[in-house]
Amino acid sequence: MSDLDDLEKIGAAARQLLEMIETRLTNEHFKTPEKYGATSETSASLRDERLRTAVRFAASASELKPGVAGRVLVVDDQPENRDVLVRHLERQGHRSAQAENGRQAIEMLRQEAFDLVLLDVAMPEMDGYTVLGQVKADPTLRHLPVIMISALDEIETVVHCIQAGAEDFLAKPFNPTLLRARIGASLEKKSFRDQEQAYLHRIEETQKRLEEELSEASRYVVSTLPPPMREPFEISWAYDPSTELGGDSFGYHWIDDSHFAIYLLDVCGHGVGAALLSVAAINVIRSGSLPRTDFLDPAQVLSGLNDAFQMENHNNMFFTIWYGVYDLVARSIRHASGGHPAALLLKSSPDGIDVVEHLRCPGMLVGAMPAISYKSETTSVPENSRLFVFCDGAYEIARPDHTRLDFDDEFIPFLVRNGRNPNVPQDVLGWVRSVHGSDVLTDDFSFIAMDFPR
């Protein structure tokens, strides 16, 4: 219910009360028995006094039961003005304090908590306009509502105060109804703002907690990645998720004494769900926990993963994967792909020039459809070869002008030129960042380089 509705009800009640007084409290009701010595003149005087009391009660009824009670600082150099305001505030249910000049008001505001300031414009030493300026310049006080108090001939000053941030103004002498309405409206707005600030604080605390949890989760994801190797293979890698948690993951491990597995997968999307799925799939591969699966056969591994990670059971998420098994004795790598970019094998041609061979064996996305069959292919690995396994985020790079990096004409030539560098994964990452024009890529970046023994 609005203040206007309340005032209308109070006005109606006052009019009804006056009507009752005029119609029912006649001279007959105030006649005093002659044995008490009363006269008609004293009876009329008593009636008038009761009438004035009733009118004062009706006029002050609008100051009862405020919608929002608060603590108000009254700032005025005239004691009588402060006393009048304080009495009105107390009748309205507010708590109040007084300051007799602007300097005292500033000190009190910085030491105590208030919900509203009633500030006189014309004061010695420091006028209301100066006090208002200091309040609005203080980050801890600038949101405190200030109602300026002025005489009618100071309206231009009041306008400047409103422009400087004052909430409202009151003219002297004070109208009780208007005083209540202006104070109530200002306190209500402050109450709403305090609630808003409390909500924002809670949101900020929640955001901070989520960021801490995401950071912890990101550290966990990175901890699941294997360390670089030096013997018998030299393996290095670069990993740069586009958000706190990415959907890429990879690994490599010995299956037995002569077979070494290397794999990289890319879950659709980013965030917590993608990271959880990628870690779960990698752990299944690393632990060899797919039933009835020969991990020496990449096609069986992909089929087992497809059965275990159907998208309808994993929040409609799927992933791509490249999986290879290097045979140390045969010097060959058997590989299969589920919707993933082909790995590249850098090797020297007969004339001594480096070339790349695509280790491609196309297959369906993992988890998209049940009962998918995959196939494996075998590629010989010459001496002095280097294997590159990566996600599509390593080459699907947009330039600032929105043109895209070309895979065949730019990405592969860069690998041919720089593929023998000791830390080529970091070189590729730095290069695609420069192409993109930013250190923050739009997709996860994962790149593995593996040198085979002579």
Work out the mean pLDDT of the chain and round it to a whole number. 85
Query: Which residue from 307, 314, 256, 254 is spatially nearest to 280, judged by alpha carbons?
Result: 314
> Which range, of 132-146, 155-169, 323-337, 338-352, averages the lowest pLDDT?
155-169
Query: Pairing state of beta strands 445-451 and 234-240?
Result: antiparallel
pLDDT value of residue 392: 95
360-379 pLDDT, tens digit per residue, is: 998 999 999 999 999 999 99
pLDDT value of residue 195: 87
Residue 21 has pLDDT above 60, yes or no: no
Stated pTM of the model: 0.63
CATH for 224-451?
Answer: 3.60.40.10
Q: In whole angstroms, how far apart are CA 120 and each of 35, 78, 111?
A: 57, 9, 20
Q: Between 174 and 37, name the one with better pLDDT.
A: 174
pLDDT value of residue 60: 45
Ranges 5-14, 168-177, 264-273, 408-417, most confident = 408-417
Residue 332 has pLDDT above 80, yes or no: yes
- The whole-angstrom distance between residue 312's C-alpha and the CA centroid of its chain comes to 30
Q: Tokens 């006090």, residue?
A: 131
Q: In whole angstroms, how far apart are CA 319 and each of 284, 396, 408?
A: 14, 17, 24
Tokens matching residue 433: 């960042």
pLDDT value of residue 39: 53
pLDDT value of residue 30: 43
pLDDT value of residue 57: 43
Banded model confidence at residue 51, pLDDT cuts 50, 70, 90: very low
Q: Name 76's Cβ contacts closer than 8 Å, sequence gap at least 6.
A: 82, 85, 98, 100, 118, 120, 123, 149
d(CA 424, CA 416): 11
Cα dihedral value 106, 110, 116, 122, nearest 10: 0
218-237 pLDDT, tens digit per residue, is: 888 888 899 999 989 899 99
Residue 185 has pLDDT above 50, yes or no: yes
Tokens matching residue 232: 């018998």
Q: In whole angstroms, how far apart are CA 18 and each of 12, 44, 50, 56, 436?
A: 10, 17, 11, 11, 82
pLDDT value of residue 334: 98
Amino acid at 442: T
pLDDT value of residue 3: 53
Banded model confidence at residue 66, pLDDT cuts 50, 70, 90: very low
In the chain, where the domains are located:
3-63, 71-198, 224-451
d(CA 204, CA 189): 22
Banded model confidence at residue 390, pLDDT cuts 50, 70, 90: very high
d(CA 441, CA 320): 20
Q: Which long-range contacts (CB under 8 A, 24 or more apart) does 243-246 make?
A: 243/270, 243/271, 244/211, 244/214, 244/215, 244/217, 244/218, 245/214, 245/217, 245/218, 245/221, 245/270, 245/271, 245/272, 245/274, 245/275, 246/221, 246/270, 246/274, 246/275, 246/278, 246/444
Tokens matching residue 219: 């550290």
The CATH architecture assigned to 71-198 reads 3-Layer(aba) Sandwich (3.40)
pLDDT value of residue 245: 81
pLDDT value of residue 32: 45
Q: Between 201 and 49, name the one with better pLDDT.
A: 201
pLDDT value of residue 117: 94
d(CA 135, CA 214): 40
Q: Between 4 and 448, name the one with better pLDDT.
A: 448
pLDDT value of residue 271: 82
- Tell me the helix, strand and coil percentages in the chain, rounded to 5: 45, 20, 35
Query: Which residue from 362, 321, 342 is spatially nearest to 412, judged by alpha carbons?
Result: 342
Q: Tokens 């009391």, residue?
A: 53
Banded model confidence at residue 353, pLDDT cuts 50, 70, 90: confident
Region 73-86: mean pLDDT is: 92
pLDDT value of residue 2: 56
Q: Between 304 and 31, name the one with better pLDDT.
A: 304
